[in-house]
Chain A
Amino acid sequence: MRLEIRVAGFGGQGIIRTGLMLAIAACIHGDKNAVQTQSYGPESRGGACKSEVVISDEKIDFPKVVDPDVLIAMSQEAYDMYVDTVKKSGTILLDPDLVQKQKASSSRVFKVPATRMAEQLGKTIVANVVMLGAFTSLTNLVSVEALKKSVLDNVPKGTEKLNLAAFEKGYAYGKRLLKEK
């Protein structure tokens, strides 16, 4: 089974890192094949940025995402550009403070105010990890343990506690959203 995940937003939001943590969770801590690719502009911050992950039990030939099973949208621009590419049976996770204009979609849509939740933790920069936590509980595609390990392996030393708290916060939020549905 081939699973396609696209994470999109601005440069500086940790978009590429999010894809990387997901892919490592699936490939190194899980037992799947995974490929992570990325696309960004020449600007270091603020330009459009996306990271794509393909996870499969088989060898992955085409490494890019065509019709994602999951879209994580962290900006209006990213949402507008990719909302229609998501599979009908797919899932969209969006940050409602950053994606204020939404349209009707046949995919499952979850609003996770990850940036606001990260602010509450004291650092906006962990919004991507909050989102990753929510992704974990909402999609159940990659195991919690693998993702936690991957987060811890891929954050700067000294920020493990903060990132773990961000992950847990997102994870719990996702659980709550599922219950409400």
Chain B
Amino acid sequence: MAEKSRAVLTGKHFMQGDIACAEGAIAAGCRFFAGYPITPATEVAERMARRLPEVKGVYVQMEDELASMAAVIGASYAGVKSMTATSGPGFSLMVENLGLAFMTETPCVLVNIMRGGPSTGQPTKPGQQDVMQAKWGSHGDYEIIALAPSSVQEIFDLTIEAFNLSETYRTPVVVLADEIVGHMRERVTIPEADEITVIDRKKPRVPPGEFASFKPDEDLVPPMACFGEGYRFHATGLTHDESGRPSTSSAEAQQKLVQRLCDKIRKNADKIVKTERTMLEDAEVAVVAYGITSRSALSAVQKAREAGIKAGLFRPITLWPFPDQQVSQVAKKVDAIVVLEMNYGQLVREVERAAKETPVIFLSKLGEEPHKPAEILQAMRRALQ
């Protein structure tokens, strides 16, 4: 119990986003962090370095981001909930081993506090420019789960959710936050430890001799034994059969494995996807925004309503899998959609695809500040003309 109370800092805090992210991870049961500091995600690592030893966890400062991701995979295979945190340039290095995590179906959490890119870009400034990289950054077919928090409370909550999803589907999950959410400070309420839902990976239900490490259950997710638990376990980045042994020539093995890796997310999308709808019931124009820009949008929607414009906000909390159906439903009911992003056009393509005939206006913002509510209001007026 004493350890439990050290792990969950129940109470009200005035906390920074990065710190809340670390606290969410620890509350979810994360006991291993391997990383390499990078603005604006360094505070996640700093907090983990201080906090993990208090809860008998391990923090490792690695030599770079490639090794960080590799260590996270190793620790997860040893049975410990593991994570890393980085920003754009580090994420680029991690996607190599992120692919290995997909192929080996390793539960783990990767936090990307997005700054301005490409390359080293603007280290201390916010961006939402890694949205497509999260989806397509590693080679081959796979389905990522990515969550976009818009407040300090939500980065706490969604980091827990990220661990739960990663354990449920035996897959890496990305928390995609922006510099503003990462560095912003506001009130966070951390519940009692008993009130926090924590999900652990499925364990084998057969004796060691009968276990096949990649044989899925009906939900397409294979139970996972951990190294050292007595089960024979073979893991590889090569295409493999259900026993985990390489199968590099069989078309059937490739078809079966890749399809299952994608389908375990696609077919469970209904359970994974989270969205938030605000004042959309009678809306004529919908704003689609996520992360920090959704807060600009909320302010703009309220201003629009005061000005007699029927506006509403659709906020994808889960960016991947993309909430196709939910966006289509919104699109059918409104005359126009305004999409806000702190990039030069990424998620807007998904919105356009889902919106079909409904016109979509895109409002890009690059650099220091998120969209100002007045700018969004103007775009809504333009959209309705």
User: Contact: B186 with A35, CB < 8 Å?
Assistant: yes
Residues of A within 8 A of B299 (CB): 61-62
Instruction: Given A63-B180, A64-B369, answer yes or no on A33-B302 (Cβ-Cβ < 8 Å).
Output: no
User: Contact: A66 with B372, CB < 8 Å?
Assistant: yes
User: Contact: A36 with B124, CB < 8 Å?
Assistant: no
Instruction: Given A63-B184, A63-B295, A64-B369, answer yes or no on A28-B123 (Cβ-Cβ < 8 Å).
Output: no
> Is A144 among interface residues, defined by CB-CB distance under 8 A?
no
> Is B332 among interface residues, defined by CB-CB distance under 8 A?
no
* Complex partner residue of A23 from B39, B185, B298, B368, CB under 8 angstroms: B185
Q: Nearest B residue to A47 by beta-carbon distance?
A: B124
> Is A139 among interface residues, defined by CB-CB distance under 8 A?
no
Residues of A within 8 A of B186 (CB): 23, 27, 33-36, 60, 63
How far is A41 from B367 in the complex, measured between Cα atoms in Å?
A: 12
How many A-B contacts at CB < 8 Å in the complex?
57
Residues of B within 8 A of A20 (CB): 185
How far is A33 from B374 in the complex, measured between Cα atoms in Å?
A: 23
Q: Which of B123, B124, B292 has the most CB of A within 10 A?
A: B124
* Complex partner residue of B187 from A34, A42, A63, CB under 8 angstroms: A34
> Is A82 among interface residues, defined by CB-CB distance under 8 A?
no
Instruction: Given A34-B186, A36-B185, answer yes or no on A42-B298 (Cβ-Cβ < 8 Å).
Output: no
How far is A61 from B295 in the complex, measured between Cα atoms in Å?
A: 5
- Cβ proximity bits A57-87 to B, threshold 8 Å, 1 near / 0 not: 0001111101000000000000000000000
User: Contact: A28 with B180, CB < 8 Å?
Assistant: no
How far is A24 from B188 in the complex, measured between Cα atoms in Å?
A: 12
User: Contact: A23 with B372, CB < 8 Å?
Assistant: no
Residues of B within 8 A of A62 (CB): 295-296, 298-299, 373
> Is B370 among interface residues, defined by CB-CB distance under 8 A?
yes
- Cβ proximity bits B79-111 to A, threshold 8 Å, 1 near / 0 not: 000000000000000000000000000000000
- Cβ proximity bits B10-40 to A, threshold 8 Å, 1 near / 0 not: 0010100000000000000000000000010
Q: Nearest B residue to A49 by beta-carbon distance?
A: B124
How far is A64 from B295 in the complex, measured between Cα atoms in Å?
A: 10
Instruction: Given A23-B185, A33-B187, answer yes or no on A39-B298 (Cβ-Cβ < 8 Å).
Output: no
Shortest distance from the beta carbon of B287 to any chain A beta carbon, whole Å: 12
> Is A38 among interface residues, defined by CB-CB distance under 8 A?
yes
- Cβ proximity bits A16-27 to B, threshold 8 Å, 1 near / 0 not: 000010011001
User: Contact: A36 with B372, CB < 8 Å?
Assistant: no
User: Contact: A42 with B295, CB < 8 Å?
Assistant: no
How far is A38 from B185 in the complex, measured between Cα atoms in Å?
A: 9
> Is A37 among interface residues, defined by CB-CB distance under 8 A?
yes
How far is A34 from B180 in the complex, measured between Cα atoms in Å?
A: 15
Shortest distance from the beta carbon of B143 to any chain A beta carbon, whole Å: 32
> Is B240 among interface residues, defined by CB-CB distance under 8 A?
no
User: Contact: B14 with A64, CB < 8 Å?
Assistant: no
Residues of A within 8 A of B295 (CB): 61-63
- Cβ proximity bits B281-307 to A, threshold 8 Å, 1 near / 0 not: 000000000001001101100100000
* Complex partner residue of A37 from B180, B296, B372, CB under 8 angstroms: B180
* Complex partner residue of A40 from B124, B187, B292, CB under 8 angstroms: B124
How far is A179 from B213 in the complex, measured between Cα atoms in Å?
A: 78
Q: Nearest A residue to B313 by beta-carbon distance?
A: A61
Give the contacts of B172-188 with A (CB-CB under 8 A): 180, 183-187
Shortest distance from the beta carbon of A114 to any chain B beta carbon, whole Å: 23
How far is A35 from B187 in the complex, measured between Cα atoms in Å?
A: 8
User: Contact: A64 with B298, CB < 8 Å?
Assistant: no
User: Contact: B14 with A23, CB < 8 Å?
Assistant: yes
How far is A95 from B66 in the complex, measured between Cα atoms in Å?
A: 47
Q: Which of A24, A37, A66 has the most CB of B within 10 A?
A: A37
User: Contact: A42 with B124, CB < 8 Å?
Assistant: yes
How far is A63 from B12 in the complex, measured between Cα atoms in Å?
A: 19
* Complex partner residue of B123 from A36, A42, A60, A63, CB under 8 angstroms: A42
Q: Which of A27, A33, A64 has the most CB of B within 10 A?
A: A64
Q: Nearest B residue to A32 by beta-carbon distance?
A: B187
How far is A66 from B303 in the complex, measured between Cα atoms in Å?
A: 15
User: Contact: B370 with A64, CB < 8 Å?
Assistant: yes
Residues of A within 8 A of B292 (CB): 63
User: Contact: A39 with B368, CB < 8 Å?
Assistant: yes
How far is A130 from B295 in the complex, measured between Cα atoms in Å?
A: 33
Interface positions of B (Cβ within 8 A of A): 12, 14, 39, 123-125, 180, 183-187, 292, 295-296, 298-299, 302, 368-370, 372-374
- The 4 A-B pairs of least Cβ separation, nearest first, read A62-B299, A61-B298, A36-B185, A61-B299
Cβ contacts A to B, 29 pairs, < 8 Å: A23-B185, A23-B186, A24-B14, A27-B14, A28-B14, A33-B186, A34-B14, A34-B186, A34-B187, A35-B184, A35-B185, A36-B184, A36-B186, A37-B183, A37-B184, A38-B183, A42-B39, A60-B186, A61-B296, A61-B298, A61-B299, A61-B302, A62-B295, A62-B296, A62-B299, A63-B184, A63-B292, A64-B180, A64-B369
Known contacts A23-B185, A28-B187; 5 additional CB pairs below 8 A are A20-B185, A42-B124, A61-B298, A63-B295, A64-B370
